[in-house]
Amino acid sequence: MQGSALRALERIRIVLVGTQHPRNIGSAARALKAMGFGAIHLVAPEKFPHADATALAAGADDLLDGAQIRPTLAEAVAGCTLVLGSTATQRAVPMPELSPREAAARLLEASRYGDVALVFGPERSGLENTELQRCHASVCIPTDPDFSSLNLAQAVQVLAYELRLAAMAQEGLDAARPPPDACPPATHDAMERFFAHLDQALHAIDFHKGRSGMTVMRRLRRLFLRTAPDERELRMLHGILADAQRMARLAGAKKVP
């Protein structure tokens, strides 16, 4: 039987990307189950299922048996309104960085409106920059600057612990309702469609002027993920892009005599 604290955790997907050692999947599953999570999500694990995972799960076999396995991160976080990426240290991609406690509060809050995800990269390298660009913010466990080497399952443990505390605290709180005119936050998929449209529109109005648009798109992704638009805002932005494209077509039609 699950208490309401656990129901708050049901919409939080813990996603392990490209995990190399099955023992870490097992340890993470054990940590998650002890903290009240009912599922583990895996993206292209190197070896799974595996006896080492089962051994380290130490009774959390049901999470392993029911593991949600997806080939790509995009599929694992499809439909999520908030995606946070765990990082060991500062990355080339500057993005908002949350402490574990801040991240837990954000995830809990956002989970009231839909699914959310917390993503962990492979042991050796962590999340790639292209993966981090799908995240609204990064989460960094504070470590000794001279030895920031945390085991993957240990990182999962710390974040899952903070999420459990946050869920327990929320359980004690009155279920505050969202403001009356609140619109659901846009899903990951909807954001990706917006970014694709934005990229097309920038090409149409010749913003790139021969340069690669990659840096610009990376910065714009960061800017718009940070603001986490809701569905209505996204419709408005699509409308603006469509009008800019229309002007570009008219301008193009003019240039060709």
What residues from 102 to 141 belong to the interface with a copy of itself (CB under 8 A)?
A: 102, 140-141
Residue with tokens 């392993």: 64
Residue 68 is a binding residue for a copy of itself (CB under 8 A)? no
Which residue among 71, 149, 210, 211 contacts a copy of itself (CB under 8 A)?
149
Contacts with a copy of itself by CB under 8 A: the residue count is 79
Which of these, 70, 80, 76, 73, lies nearest to 190 by C-alpha position?
A: 80
Touching a copy of itself, residues 156-215 (CB under 8 A): 157-158, 161, 164-165, 168, 175-177, 179-182, 202, 204-207
Q: Which of 55, 65, 72, 99 binds a copy of itself (CB under 8 A)?
A: 99
**Is 142 near a copy of itself (CB under 8 A)?**
yes
Compute the distance between CA of residue 157 and CA of residue 162 in angstroms, rounded to an integer. 9
Minimal distance in Å, beta carbon 25 to a copy of itself? Answer: 14
CB of 75 to a copy of itself, least distance (A): 27
Residue 24 to residue 17: CA distance in whole angstroms:
12
DSSP string spanning 140-154?
A: ----BTTB----HHH
Between the alpha carbon of residue 87 and those of residues 67, 103, 135, 241, 255, the distances in Å are: 23, 12, 11, 33, 49
Structural contact between residues 160 and 32, judged by C-beta atoms closer than 8 angstroms: yes
Two tokens, residue 222: 């960061």
Q: What is the amino acid identity at position 155?
A: A
Task: Give 123's DSSP letter.
Answer: T
Smallest separation, CB 107 to a copy of itself (Å): 16
Find the shortest distance in angstroms from Cβ 17 to a copy of itself.
20
Task: Give me the 17-36 binding string for a copy of itself, x by CB under 8 A, dash otherwise.
Answer: ----------x--xx-xxxx
Longest CA–CA separation in the chain, Å: 74
Dihedral over alpha carbons 87, 126, 124, 33 (to 10 degrees) = 80
Stretch that binds a copy of itself, among 40-48, 68-76, 104-112, 143-151 (CB under 8 A): 143-151
Between 68 and 154, whose beta carbon lies closer to a copy of itself?
A: 154
Q: Which residue number, 71 or 254, has a Cβ lying nearer to a copy of itself?
A: 254
